[in-house]
């Protein structure tokens, strides 16, 4: 995705160090039990430290298996916290109970990767959007009014309320998923690869929607992606994950144009560009970087 494509019709976030504190992850460790009886636990995250301010987007980028989705799941209470703390609005939610999580859901929501599987295919869109409102005790009339507002907010027609998910395209389904996340007016949305299943033109429109919603509502995002080019255009700051650790973080423009860590440099060179000559040069530069790192590792060993 090119810069011009990603930001068609939307303004990229300005750079900032942090807004007023909303989320703080401190020395977070996540481990899973080993598969065998005497197997050691598998450590998925090691001493992770990140923060997100109000109205801010932190882009979390890394390859598959780097631990970025595990971090998002830990914030949502879906992964075990072995050590460290997760602080949300000044309160430690590392080991929140199910009841506490139900209350937290008003302020902490998620948009998943696949719009095809994240929506119940048997429910009409209106019922999908009204469900979280009903759980929080909203009256039916109030819920219906809110559903109409949400459809308008994400750019879907009013008659979508009576249609099934299969009647929509991938981009439209992801708009429904975003509307569902916005239903309770949350303060933070964990976006787990929310555009990776979409084609490039649809990606651009959905990214524009995220930017516009943040401008209108002040919501914060933890935006998880494997694509450094995507997080460059959606994020105020970027954190790079490698083998369960944060290896680099800082302002989005700095990290995505002049990275210091070799892994981030490889990610940058792996991002596709529309110019075939530049793309070929990137491949060659990435190959040279990998070879240099292998030689360095061999010498150190």
The model's confidence at residue 267, banded by pLDDT at 50, 70 and 90, is: confident
Torsion of CA 246, 264, 242, 25, to 10 degrees: 20
Residue 293 and residue 152 in one domain? no
Structure tokens at 165: 């998910």
Does any domain span residue 198?
Answer: yes
Residue 71 to residue 74: CA distance in whole angstroms:
5
User: Mean pLDDT lowest for which of 21-30, 100-109, 147-156, 287-296?
Assistant: 287-296
Across the chain, the runs of DSSP E, i.e. the strands, are 21-32, 42-53, 57-61, 83-88, 91-92, 108-111, 188-192, 220-225, 237-242, 245-251
Q: Count the helix, strand and coil residues of the chain and give each as a percent rounded to the nearest 5.
A: 45, 20, 35
Residue 250 and residue 153 in one domain? no
What's the domain count of the chain? Answer: 3
Percent of the chain at pLDDT exceeding 70: 83
Residue 54 and residue 192 in one domain? yes
36 Rama sector, left if φ>0, alpha if ψ -120 to 50, beta otherwise: beta
CA-based nearest residue to 235, from 247, 248, 225: 225
Residue 38 and residue 172 in one domain? no
Residue 227 to residue 181: CA distance in whole angstroms:
22
118-145 tens-digit pLDDT: 888 999 999 999 998 888 888 888 999 9
| pLDDT score of 199 | 84
* Paired strand residues for 242: 245
Q: What is the pTM of this model?
A: 0.84
Residue 284 and residue 143 in one domain? no
Structure tokens at 269: 């060179």
Residue 2 and residue 95 in one domain? yes
Residue 192 and residue 58 in one domain? yes
The model's confidence at residue 200, banded by pLDDT at 50, 70 and 90, is: confident
244-262 tens-digit pLDDT: 999 999 999 999 888 988 8
- In the predicted model, what is the mean pLDDT of the chain? 85
| Boundaries of domain holding 297 | 271-301
| pLDDT score of 275 | 55
Residue 61 and residue 195 in one domain? yes
Residue 17 and residue 73 in one domain? yes
Query: What are the residues whose beta carbons fall under 8 Å from the beta carbon of 278, sequence distance 6 or more?
Result: none
Residue 144 and residue 86 in one domain? no
82-95 tens-digit pLDDT: 999 999 999 999 99
Q: Is the pLDDT of residue 288 over 80?
A: no
The CATH number of the domain holding residue 48 is 3.40.50.300
């Amino acid at each position: 995705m090119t810069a011009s494509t990603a930001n068609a019709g939307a303004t990229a976030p300005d750079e900032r160090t942090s807004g007023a504190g909303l989320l703080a992850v401190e020395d977070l460790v996540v481990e899973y039990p080993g598969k065998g009886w005497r197997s050691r636990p598998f450590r998925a995250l090691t001493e992770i430290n990140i923060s997100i301010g109000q109205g801010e987007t932190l882009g979390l980028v890394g390859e598959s298996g780097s631990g970025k989705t595990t971090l998002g799941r830990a914030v949502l209470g879906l992964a075990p916290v072995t050590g460290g703390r997760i602080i949300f609005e000044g309160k430690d939610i590392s080991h929140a109970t199910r009841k506490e999580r139900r209350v937290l859901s008003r302020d902490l929501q998620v948009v998943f990767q696949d719009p095809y599987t994240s929506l119940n295919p048997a429910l009409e869109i209106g019922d999908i959007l009204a469900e979280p409102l009903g759980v929080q005790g909203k009256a039916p009339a109030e819920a219906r009014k809110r559903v109409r507002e949400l459809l308008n907010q994400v750019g879907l027609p009013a008659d979508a309320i009576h249609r099934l998910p299969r009647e929509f395209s991938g981009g439209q389904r992801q708009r429904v998923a975003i509307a569902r996340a916005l239903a309770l007016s949350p303060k933070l949305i964990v976006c787990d690869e929310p555009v990776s299943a979409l084609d490039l033109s649809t990606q651009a429109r959905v990214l524009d929607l995220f930017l516009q919603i943040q401008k209108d509502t002040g919501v914060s995002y933890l935006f998880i992606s494997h694509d450094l080019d995507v997080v460059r255009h959606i994020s105020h700051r970027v954190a790079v994950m490698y083998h369960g650790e944060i290896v680099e973080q800082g302002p989005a423009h700095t990290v995505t144009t002049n990275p210091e860590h070799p892994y981030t440099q490889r990610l940058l060179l792996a991002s596709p560009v529309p110019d075939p000559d530049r793309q070929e040069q990137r491949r060659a530069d990435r190959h040279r970087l990998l070879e240099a790192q292998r030689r360095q590792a061999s010498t150190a060993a």
